[in-house]
Structure formats: C-alpha cells, structure tokens
Structure 1
Amino acid sequence: MPAKPAFSAPWHDRAGRVSGLKLATFLFALAPGIWLAAAYGFDALGPKPITALIHSTGEWAVRFLLLSLAVTPLRRIANYPKLILVRRMLGLTVLAYGIVHLGLYIVDQNFILSKVVSEIVSRFYLTIGFVALLGLAVLGITSTDGMIRRLGKAWPRLHKSVYVIAVLGLFHYFLQAKIDVSAPVYWTGLFLLLMGWREMQRFRLPMNAITLLGLAIAASLVTALVEAAWYGFKSGVPASAVLGANLEFYDGLRPAWWVLISGIALPLLNLMRPAMSGGGKGRPVSHQSGREAVQAR
C-alpha cells in the first residue's frame, strides 16, 4: 500500500481525490476574507477601515461557527452524510477568522501589547470574546486525527464545549453591537433553532415536517423574547413595545421573522428527503467511519 502523503490539500478526500463539496466549502471560507482584503485595498471600508475589518471578521467568525453547528442537523434532515466531511474545515475557518479578528484589534491598538492585555482584562465584552477564542484554539489544536485517537472518549466531551463557546461569542457580539442588536439577535435565534433540534434528538421526539415547523415557530418566538429582554435590560424600552414592533412591517422584518424564514428550511428539507436520497425512503445512512461518527455532535 502506498504511503499516505504528508500533506493533503484541504479539498482532497481521504483517498487523495478532489472532493467537489470540500473544494466549494474551501472557496466559500476564503471568499469573505478576499472580499474584505479587496475592499481595504480599494479604500471602500469607510473612514475607519481597521475598525470595519475588526467588526466584519468577528461577524464572519460567528456566521461560520453557526454554519459548523448546522452541519449535523442538515446532514440528518436531508440524509446527506457527506456534509460531515466539511465540519472540520468550517471549524478551522471559525478559528482563522477569530485569530484575524484579534490580530486586527492588536493593529488598532498600535501593537502595544500591554494595552491590548489591559483592555482585554478590564473590558468584560473583550474578556469573554478572548475566552471564546482560546476555546476555539483548543478545539482547533485537538481536531486532528492523531488527537482524536489520543483523546479517545474524552474527545467528544471536549468538543461539546463548542456550545458554550458559541454562547460566549454571541454574548460578545451583543455587547459590542451596543445600540442596534438586530444581527446578533438573528444569529442567536439560529443558534436556538439548532440547539432546539439537538434537544429534540436528545428526547427522541419525532422528526417530520410538522415537528420541524413547530421548532421553527418556537425558535422565532423565543428570538422575539430575547430581543425584547435585551432592549429592556440595556435601554429600558418596554418589552411590549419591542414585541409589538415584530408586528409592524413598514420598517422591514424583525430578526424573529428572519429566524422563522430560515427555520422553514428544515421542514422543507425533510419533505425533499426522499428525492435527495435518490428516490428512496430517506433512511439514514449508518456506515460512518469511526472518525466521522465521533465528529457528529
């Protein structure tokens, strides 16, 4: 048997062949960074380009984190087990954007590391963001095949800390957003949707179009409550006024509605499951490798 190459391109499968899914994911992971670099080069980021880059890279880290958490629900609902092949790449993409996010903050502080450390220690939103980044670094370091073998049964327990990391990252996002928290509310709503699916799995609730639609509705309602609670706590705005704003569409849809629209994708995927599985009954595929199975959190 030929020796396995020391280096394998991220778009190759374990047999060394080009994987269309992994290649598309790799290009998708690079696209925001390339776009931001080009925008910076063409001076298209406004009067404070470094600040814009800090915010944008942080937002993309959150987006890719939520996307990585969506892999397991999507692959099971759509009966597309190959999605597990890109989970590690998405996780490392989160770490990459998080590191760039911190690096840009250091640049913004003129590379004065003592000031960076002081700010992280004294500002709560920076502290929790840094803790989340440290957690991502630990997960990234332990994501190799070798570390999975060494850690054994401890590996899945360690990597379930991604849920806590996601909560910290979203809280950091809320705090730095200050006035308009529509974006962090929306991504928090998607997190609630994905965690709700995991709770349904945990309690072995039936997974069909009706229950998944119910999950989407429940997640959107909780999202509206989260938004109302946040504005009430931070700004003293009555919760009834914020909740009422969700029924007024002249100024666009509130985050809760976008969560509902996004969540409707789950029952639609469930209905399309037979077609996506080649006309069969959508029976889950069980022949996972050990590495793939241990990654399926």
Structure 2
Amino acid sequence: MRSLSKDPACMTARAIPSPPGPRSGIGVPWRDRQGAFSAFKLAVLVALMLPALWLAWQAANGMLGPRPLNEAIHQTGLWGVRILLVSLLVTPLRQLVRQPRVMLVRRMVGVAAMAYILAHLALYIADQGFDLGKVVSEIVLRFYLTIGFVALVGLVALGITSTDGWVKRLGGRRWQALHRAVYAIGVLALVHFVLQTKLDVTEAMLTAGLFLWLMGYRLLAPKGGAPALWRLALLVPIAAIGTALLEAAWYGLGTGVPFWPVLEANLDTEFGLRPALWVGIVSAAMLLPALYGKWQQGRQPVRGRRASATRSA
C-alpha cells in the first residue's frame, strides 16, 4: 500500500513540454501533444460541453422553473463537482485499461471543472443583483459559502498552473506537490455540496461515496500501476460501507435522526437504491476495465512474439 502523496491525481498530465512550432497544438484542445487531430480528445471536449449546452437550452426555453438563476446555480455547481471527480478518475482509468492516451484529457477535464465552478460563482453573483459587497459578506458569514469559495480559489490556482510552462517554472516536484491539493479541494467541494443541500443529501452522499472509492484506489494501488484485482474487489464493500456510514453520521449529527435506522435503510430497496448501494454497483463495475487491462496485458507477449517472427522472416 502507498500514501496519497505518491500519486498526484492532479488536473493535468505529468507532461514534457510540447515542442514549439505550428503543430504543437497549443490552444487547440482536439489535438494531441504532437499537434495531430485526436478524435478521443474531441469526443471528451464535446461531452464536457454538453451540460452547459443543455443548461443554456433549458434557460432559453423557460424550463428552469420559477427561480431560473437558482436552478442554474445548482446545476453548474453539481456538474463542477461531477467533472472534478471525473478528473480524479483519469489516472485510475489509465492504469486499469493500460492505455496511456487516456492521460491526454486530464488537463482538459480539470479545466472544465474549474470553468463550471466559475460559472457557478458568476451565476450566484447575478442572483445577488451584482452586489459585490453583499456577495463578499455572504461568503464571509456563511460557512458553506466560505469553504466553497476556498475550493474555487484552489481550483483556479490549479487551472492557472496546469500548463507546460508552469511545470517548467515550478519544477516537477514542486508542481506535483501543488497539484496534490486537488484532494483537499475535493473534500471542501463535497462538504460545501452537502451543507448547501440541507435536507435531501442523497446525491451529495453518492458523490462523496464515489470520492471515497477514488481515494481508496490510490491507497491500494502500487506506485505507477493498477492494484491487484483482489484489492479492487475488496474496495467494493469498503466504499459502500463507508458511504452508508457517512450518510448515517450526517443525518445523526445534522438532523438528529437515529444513526442505526439510517444505516439499515441503505439495505432497503423498496423506494429505490440508496447511495451506498449505488457506490457498491459503480465500484464493482470498475472491475470490468481492470479485467480488460489484464486481458490486454496477456495479449502483449503474443503480439511481441508475432512481430519478432515477422521481422526474422
């Protein structure tokens, strides 16, 4: 097992700066580091834009309810947290499927998370009538807004320093140390999410449970590689039970609802699946890319032998 500090799941790829020149792909998100067109990067870019386009379409057609700004604030914040988790998934996914090109999109995904959270703040400012004094006062006086703002500042810092130029300026070690802050930012964002939800924290707990899996993965994985299948399988009940404990603790401390009935409710499927079961299902599903990666690894020696035979002939 290893510590989190040995695997910086930061917003950008650990990269060697691209060579200068017209084909470097700088500023063109659908090109790879050599400047060639990447269908994979384009597909991810489109997917990242879809929530914003859907929100804009809803706003244009009056589908955001009686308080459209409030709904837009909620949706941009929700998607910001979701995409932040996706940015943390990039490294595990690359290790599980053994496909280095997955890392091409980590920077893009991290910057997209920052963009959605910035939109979240901008819409909140608009909802306050662009009264910046009131906005500052609310952020200072309301704890959940304070920690949300701190998370946003952290994301902006990571976004600004996500370029190859900043990797060179800071040096690899300092850059990695800075970008490990994404773990703390994730915690702050989730606490903000839970606190502002107030009553029904189902979605917030589901998100927190998936974050638990992401952190558990990093604790169980060897440096630079995927954990053994038995460790991934062990992580399934750990993440699910951890999610159930978080939900029970929240209701117990926040609303006074008894701890054990909430914990037991996670096994009751009469009214749908609770967050703990969903986290268990998603965690179990992550065994599939791990099996695919093992299968790919098993094929490599065969391909290597065939290539050697062809060259000899």
Aligned to 2:199: 179
Distance change in 2, residues 1:204/1:16 (3 Å): closer
Aligned to 2:252: 232
Aligned to 1:67: 86
Aligned to 1:214: 234
Which secondary structure state, in structure 1, belongs to the residue aligned with residue 221 of structure 2? Answer: helix
- State the Cα distance separating 1:9 from its structure 2 match: 1.1
1:262 aligns to 2:277 (yes or no): no
Q: CA RMSD in A?
A: 2.0
Which stretch shows the higher mean deviation, 271-280 or 40-49?
Answer: 271-280
Aligned to 1:113: 132
- State the Cα distance separating 1:281 from its structure 2 match: 6.7
Assess if the C-alpha contact under 8 Å between 2:96 and 2:226 holds in 1.
Answer: no
Assess if the C-alpha contact under 8 Å between 1:80 and 1:277 holds in 2.
Answer: no
Which secondary structure state, in structure 1, belongs to the residue aligned with residue 299 of structure 2? Answer: coil
Structure 2 residue identity aligned to 1:62:
V
Assess if the C-alpha contact under 8 Å between 1:95 and 1:137 holds in 2.
Answer: yes
Assess if the C-alpha contact under 8 Å between 2:267 and 2:277 holds in 1.
Answer: no
Which secondary structure state, in structure 2, belongs to the residue aligned with residue 218 of structure 1? Answer: helix
- Alpha-carbon distance in 1 for matches of 2:295, 2:61: 45
- Alpha-carbon distance in 2 for matches of 1:31, 1:148: 30
- Alpha-carbon distance in 1 for matches of 2:156, 2:183: 14
Which secondary structure state, in structure 2, belongs to the residue aligned with residue 280 of structure 1? Answer: helix
Aligned to 2:110: 91
Aligned to 1:280: 300
Q: Specify which of 288, 291, 296 is matched with residue 271 of structure 1.
A: 291
Distance change in 2, residues 1:226/1:205 (3 Å): farther
Q: What is the correspondence of 1:39-50 to structure 2 with a 5 Å cutoff?
A: 39-50=58-69
Assess if the C-alpha contact under 8 Å between 1:274 and 1:280 holds in 2.
Answer: no
Aligned to 1:100: 119
- State the Cα distance separating 1:4 from its structure 2 match: 3.3
- State the Cα distance separating 1:67 from its structure 2 match: 0.3
Aligned to 2:21: 3
Aligned to 1:200: 220
Q: Taking structure 2 as the reference length, what is the TM-score of the superposition?
A: 0.86
The structure with the largest alpha-carbon Rg is: 2
- Alpha-carbon distance in 1 for matches of 2:20, 2:47: 32
Structure 2 residue identity aligned to 1:162:
V
Which secondary structure state, in structure 2, belongs to the residue aligned with residue 180 of structure 1? Answer: coil
Assess if the C-alpha contact under 8 Å between 1:186 and 1:256 holds in 2.
Answer: yes
Q: Specify which of 209, 225, 243 is matched with residue 263 of structure 2.
A: 243
Q: Specify which of 54, 74, 88 is matched with residue 73 of structure 2.
A: 54
C-alpha offsets along residues 29-57 of structure 1, whole Å, 9 cap, x if unaligned? Answer: 10000000000000011111100000000
Distance change in 2, residues 1:224/1:14 (3 Å): same
Q: Taking structure 1 as the reference length, what is the TM-score of the superposition?
A: 0.90
- State the Cα distance separating 1:16 from its structure 2 match: 1.6
1:145 aligns to 2:164 (yes or no): yes
- Give structure 2 stretches of 5+ with no counterpart: 1-18, 303-313
The aligned length equals 282
1:30 aligns to 2:49 (yes or no): yes
Which secondary structure state, in structure 1, belongs to the residue aligned with residue 239 of structure 2? Answer: helix
Which secondary structure state, in structure 2, belongs to the residue aligned with residue 279 of structure 1? Answer: helix
C-alpha offsets along residues 126-173 of structure 1, whole Å, 9 cap, x if unaligned? Answer: 000000000001001100100001100200000000000000000000
- State the Cα distance separating 1:236 from its structure 2 match: 0.5
Structure 2 residue identity aligned to 1:225:
L
